[in-house]
Amino acid sequence: MSELELNADDTAVLIIDPQIDFLKPESVIWDKVGETVEENAVVDKLRRLREAAREGDVLVVYSPHEYEDAEYESWEHLNTIDQIMFDTRMFDVAGEGADFVPELEPDDNTFVLSPHKQLSGFWSNDVQIQLRQRGIDTLVLAGMSANLCVESHLRDAVENGFEVLTVTDATAAAGEEALEAALTNYGFIAHETATTDEVVDRLSAASGE
């Protein structure tokens, strides 16, 4: 496992699904994710990553997750996790579940992608072109949930030639087993894994000033 260089020029912090339905007790699936979200203090970790990125002139990019009535009513090929999300109307744009958590409200250093569907924005939103058009080829990846949307963004970023540092504790999942699965897979698929503590200094120094 290598140690990536984090330079403001070509690095972004990519945060997946920083939304109520994953990170706040109002979440429609809090009974599933609440425990590891609180254990890892994910909101606070993401807040620290954002702050460090801003200090280091590193762009923060959000890949949010959204569904609406027309999708809940018409999708015919739901896999297991989609079935759960659709049954609970997770990330419903008509409610508050799809809102960003207040502590992570986009600021002027945040670019918000179109909402992704299913697991990865590389198949359903503009993540790839927004990064490439800005000359970004290195990602610091964090957010929710560890073994589903974060891991799929990781896999697809790698398939597209990006180098990825995945933050191991700024994420959580539907249970310890799911979180463990993600951490195991990050160890194979990421270019580097590191904790928030290990990453924030490198991010805040990324502008080279």
Contact residues for a copy of itself, defined by CB under 8 A: 1-2, 70-71, 74-81, 83, 111, 114-120, 123-126, 128-135, 147-148, 151-152, 155-156, 158-164, 174, 177-178, 180-182, 184-185, 187-191
Contact 1, 192 (CB under 8 A): yes
- The length of the chain is 209
How many other C-beta atoms lie within 10 A of the C-beta of residue 3? 11
Distance in Å, CB of 44 to a copy of itself, minimum: 26
Comparing CB distances to a copy of itself, the nearer of 59 and 170 is 59
Of 47 and 155, the one with the shorter C-beta distance to a copy of itself is: 155
Cβ 34 to a copy of itself shortest distance, Å: 17
Residue 112: name the closest of 45, 50, 202 by CA.
50
**C-beta of 23 vs 131, nearer to a copy of itself:** 131
Query: Which of 96, 129, 103 shows the shortest CA–CA distance to 45?
Result: 103
Nearer to a copy of itself, 30 or 111 (CB): 111
Which residues, 6 or more positions from 140, have their beta carbon under 8 angstroms from its beta carbon?
A: 6, 11, 12, 13, 14, 49, 53, 58, 165, 167, 199, 203
Give CA–CA dist 151/191, Å, rounded: 13
- Smallest gap from Cβ 85 to a copy of itself, in A, equals 11
Question: Cβ–Cβ contacts within 10 Å for residue 76, how many?
Answer: 4
Query: Whose Cβ is closer to a copy of itself: residue 48's or residue 92's?
Result: 92
- Quote the least distance from Cβ 47 to a copy of itself, whole Å: 21
The position carrying tokens 């609440």 is 34
Question: Least distance to a copy of itself from the beta carbon of 104, Å?
Answer: 18
- Shortest spacing between CB 38 and a copy of itself, in angstroms: 21
Task: Give the separation between CA 13 and CA 5, rounded to whole angstroms.
Answer: 13
Residue whose CB is less far from a copy of itself, 101 or 182: 182
